[in-house]
Amino acid sequence: MRMWGTVAAVLIALCGSVARAGETFPSDIRTITADGATSSCIGAPKTPLCAAETFLACDSRQDKSLCRRVGVERTEFQLPPYDLRYRILSVRILKPEDIPPDFRDSPFLKPGDAEMVFLEFPPPPQHACPDGCKYDYIARSVNGEWRIVDWAMWGLDD
């Protein structure tokens, strides 16, 4: 658990400059339901954003095949299926100078990885954050498709 806390802390530190450095989507509320979504690319991770939205759909729909599509092996889900509302706060491609020195040799962050920050609004009773929960997703290009290599919720203690 200590390593996840460290990774989460680094991801959160990286996100401090995301709004200045990356593409932003300040007011677009998106949805994923059991049989639909705002995104038209769920299941086709040709971009970092499509990989992140596929991963969100995997979790909200409890569809392990969608998780595998973006390189995540889920063995269980913590919540029952739910409809998800979310905002994309930022998307950026990490440059070498964005990687903290302590993580330059780690598998978690590499130059060329995409970092995306989402504000998620799961429905009650899952809604743990009154104003939405911020999540950070890291995706990496592998053979022409994007894979989720790490994710963290902001504000979690390790």
83-137 tens-digit pLDDT: 999 999 999 999 999 999 988 888 889 999 999 999 998 776 655 677 788 999 9
CB 36 within 8 A of CB 136: no
> For the chain, which residues make up each domain, given as ranges?
2-153
Rounded CA-CA distance 88/49 in Å is 9
| 28-63 pLDDT per residue, tens | 899 999 999 999 999 999 999 999 999 999 999 999
pTM here is 0.79
Q: What dihedral angle (degrees, nearest 10) is formed by the CA atoms of 120, 146, 94, 40? A: -50
CB 99 within 8 A of CB 110: yes
Confidence of residue 156 (pLDDT cuts 50, 70, 90): low
Rounded CA-CA distance 107/57 in Å is 25
